[in-house]
Amino acid sequence: MCGIVGYVGPGPAAAIIMSGLKRLEYRGYDSAGVAVVTSDDAGSRIALAKRAGKIGNLAGALDAEPMPVDGVGVGHTRWATHGVPNDLNAHPHLSFDGRVAVVHNGIIENHAALRAELGAAGIATVSDTDTEVVAHLLAQELEAGRRLPDAMRAVCNRLDGAFTLVAVDRDDPATVVGARRNSPLVVGIGDGESYLASDVAAFIDHTREAIELGQDQVVEIRAGEVRVTGFDGRPAQTRPYHVDWDTSAAQKDGYDWFMRKEIYEQPKAVADTLLGRYDTDGSLRLDELRISESELRRVNKIIIVACGTAFYSGLVAKYAIEHWTRIACEVELAHEFRYRDPIVDANTLVVCISQSGETADSLMAIRHASEQGARVLAICNTNGSTIPRESDAVIYTHAGPEIGVASTKGFTTQLVACYLLGLYLAQVRGTLFGDEIARLMDELEQMPQTIQGVLDDAEPVLKLAADFAEQPSVLFLGRHVGYPVALEGALKLKELAYIHAEGFAAGELKHGPIALIDQGLPVFVVVPPLGRDMLHDKVVSNIAEIRARGALTVVLAEEDDEAVGPLADVWIRLPKVSTLLQPLAATVPLQLFACELATRKGHDVDQPRNLAKSVTVE
């Protein structure tokens, strides 16, 4: 949440920062701003521009009144926490003396006390943000004779909460200083220029060489020079890395939305996540898994923690992991986990699923799990992010950057990583025979083609979205692994189309939700594959029950499942796959449906209202 860019180098700072912000707009789009420190014969000054609304508004303002070309600078695109999204609350914030400009991602929890302290010293704040106090505190430190990096360390030691801060000092026009605690910040190393950003996407046009910053670190960048220290002032260890995707991955490639592009990228993303995991000798290899086989054999409980769509992938994983490994597996919303005093010990494996690797709720959950002695494994899509760094082990999903705010290829590749984990545990613990694992791996390796088939046959789903554009409410039902698919289908519709959508376990319907069924209400039903006859037949009965009460049934069922024919007002035909893997195929039409329906309603699909990707506040 909130995107930050800092730049030092010979290039046009404001233009470079604006293009970086554009790439980070998925992190927040309530307002945006840029500050550039520039010098001429008259001395140094900070040029500042900020506007409520999307970056386009700021770009318009800069076209009308351009910024100075030379200098160093910072920029910000905001997801509002404290203070409504208006020009005044937009970042950067200036200090009382105009010497410091600062941008912030996170929440300064003790801002009220600091504001009162500044007030007592005669410094009044002008905005409603928690951020502005930082600008004034930094200026006080500079006034006392400190340099900006020392001032930043001193101020950070006084702040509570989560924050990435990036600041410039009018009187030091060659330096940008950043700091991070519980919120992301990466460094980009260019040729004679340096970048700070919430995400590598901001500087991928200029360099693919990056440095991961650790917790509680301050970074100073000058042209071609980077210095990192802890909040205590000691030099800190950092990890340089090469970004394994390039600028082409961050383009829409002719699609109307990043989301639609990412839906269509799923065959490749799934194939990339599977790549190199299965040896020709028939054994699974998870190279990044830094937990020994003997430790994995000792695991007697798995707890999956995640939020939103990632949580739903965890719900699917539970069915597969328990079935294949016979290890008890709980799935918990990360923000609930640590507040209920969970029973966790050294034999518990906590699996954290996070596309961004920065979700604050998930990060806090794994910290709690580690403190209790559990081993933590991350399933993550973002190299260099905090969650894998703070975990004992990681399985990276190789989906490439996910820019659409609604997760799509993130979800399917999380499913693949969960299946790989389940099968690997089964291999290590001997709960599945080699030929059983081989059969499942064969099917997983077929999945890119299977998903491609679903995408190629998408026309009926797109037409359905057009027909349903005026529907005020849609329900989704599923059973077993179809239940999380139903939840995911409903979430996608809520967040993109802003209509009432709910997912239910089909068996739960008669315990209350069936009262919602009314004449013409669209209900999507995910039908388990044929072959799990009891499960399948129960869901078919559920369809009959809702149809008898007037529901308009949209049935996702295998292409030859003739039992559903008479009960389906609309039949979305799914390819034949085994039960546990069905979510990989069944979710795709629901993603397309939500994307198309939101498009028909005229919504901004990549930037739905009130949302942002990478939720870095609790």
Residues labelled as active-site residues: 2, 613
Closest CB to ligand F6R: residue number: 308
Longest dimension (CA), the chain: 82
Q: Is 100 helix (H, G, I), strand (E, B) or coil?
A: strand
Which residue reads 């950043």 in tokens?
Answer: 178
Pick from 95, 129, 355, 587: which binds ligand F6R (CB under 6 A)? 355
d(CA 179, CA 244): 25
| Exposure of 393 in the CB half-sphere (CA atoms within 13 A) | 20
Size of the site for ligand F6R (CB under 6 A): 15
Using a CB cutoff of 8 Å and minimum separation of 24, what contacts does 504-507 make? 504/475, 504/476, 504/477, 505/477, 505/478, 505/479, 506/477, 506/478, 506/479, 506/482, 506/538, 506/539, 506/542, 507/479, 507/538, 507/542
Radius of gyration (C-alpha) of the chain in whole angstroms: 25
Nearer to ligand F6R, 61 or 366 (CB): 366
Nearer to ligand F6R, 362 or 383 (CB): 362
Nearer to ligand F6R, 555 or 594 (CB): 594
Task: Output the smallest distance, CB 415 to ligand F6R, in A.
Answer: 13
Task: Output the smallest distance, CB 112 to ligand F6R, in A.
Answer: 28
Structure tokens belonging to residue 210: 């990056």
Nearer to ligand F6R, 172 or 596 (CB): 596
Task: Output the smallest distance, CB 291 to ligand F6R, in A.
Answer: 21
Residue 359 interacting with ligand F6R (CB under 6 A): yes
The answer to whether the peptide bond before residue 472 is cis (omega within 30 degrees of 0) is no
Nearer to ligand F6R, 172 or 361 (CB): 361
Task: Output the smallest distance, CB 21 to ligand F6R, in A.
Answer: 20
Nearer to ligand F6R, 14 or 162 (CB): 162
d(CA 227, CA 234): 11
Nearer to ligand F6R, 61 or 615 (CB): 615
Task: Output the smallest distance, CB 311 to ligand F6R, in A.
Answer: 7
Q: Is 273 helix (H, G, I), strand (E, B) or coil?
A: helix
Which string of DSSP letters, residue by residue, matches 4-29? EEEEESSS-HHHHHHHHHHHHGGG--
Residue 605 interacting with ligand F6R (CB under 6 A): no
Residue 579 interacting with ligand F6R (CB under 6 A): no
Q: Is 60 helix (H, G, I), strand (E, B) or coil?
A: helix
Residue 616 interacting with ligand F6R (CB under 6 A): no
Whether the Cβ atoms of residue 536 and residue 528 lie closer than 8 Å to each other: yes
Q: What is the 3-state secondary structure (H, E, C) of 148-184?
A: HHHHHHHHHCCCCEEEEEEEEECCCCCCEEEEEECCC
Residue 356 interacting with ligand F6R (CB under 6 A): yes
**Of the ranges 173-181, 284-292, 353-361, 367-375, which one interacts with ligand F6R (CB under 6 A)?**
353-361
Task: Output the smallest distance, CB 496 to ligand F6R, in A.
Answer: 8
For residues 22, 24, 29 and 32, what is the CA-based torsion angle, rounded to 10 degrees? -60
Task: Output the smallest distance, CB 418 to ligand F6R, in A.
Answer: 13
Nearer to ligand F6R, 182 or 579 (CB): 182
Q: Which of 13, 168, 18 is nearest to 94 (CA)?
A: 168
Binding mask 457-496 for ligand F6R (x = CB under 6 A): ----------------------------------x---x-
Task: Output the smallest distance, CB 356 to ligand F6R, in A.
Answer: 3
Binding mask 281-310 for ligand F6R (x = CB under 6 A): --------------------------xxxx
Nearer to ligand F6R, 579 or 614 (CB): 614
Task: Output the smallest distance, CB 568 to ligand F6R, in A.
Answer: 27
Q: What are phi and psi of 127, to 5 degrees?
A: -105, 175
Which residue reads 């100073």 in tokens?
Answer: 220
Site for ligand F6R in 543-572 (CB under 6 A): none
**Of the ranges 238-246, 350-358, 516-524, 587-595, which one interacts with ligand F6R (CB under 6 A)?**
350-358
Pick from 125, 362, 427, 471: which binds ligand F6R (CB under 6 A)? 362
Which residue reads 């289908």 in tokens?
Answer: 489
Site for ligand F6R in 493-512 (CB under 6 A): 495
CB atoms within 10 A of CB 486: 29
d(CA 94, CA 115): 15
Residue 440 interacting with ligand F6R (CB under 6 A): no
Which residue reads 């613990």 in tokens?
Answer: 429
Task: Output the smallest distance, CB 354 to ligand F6R, in A.
Answer: 3
Q: Rounded to the nearest 10 degrees, what angle do helices 482-497 and 582-600 cross at?
A: 20
Pick from 13, 179, 447, 615: which binds ligand F6R (CB under 6 A)? 615
Residue 354 interacting with ligand F6R (CB under 6 A): yes
Q: Rounded to the nearest 10 degrees, what angle do helices 266-274 and 409-429 cross at?
A: 20
**Of the ranges 69-77, 348-356, 517-525, 591-599, which one interacts with ligand F6R (CB under 6 A)?**
348-356
Site for ligand F6R in 389-408 (CB under 6 A): 406-407
Contacting residues toward ligand F6R, per CB under 6 A? 307-310, 354-356, 359, 362, 406-407, 491, 495, 614-615
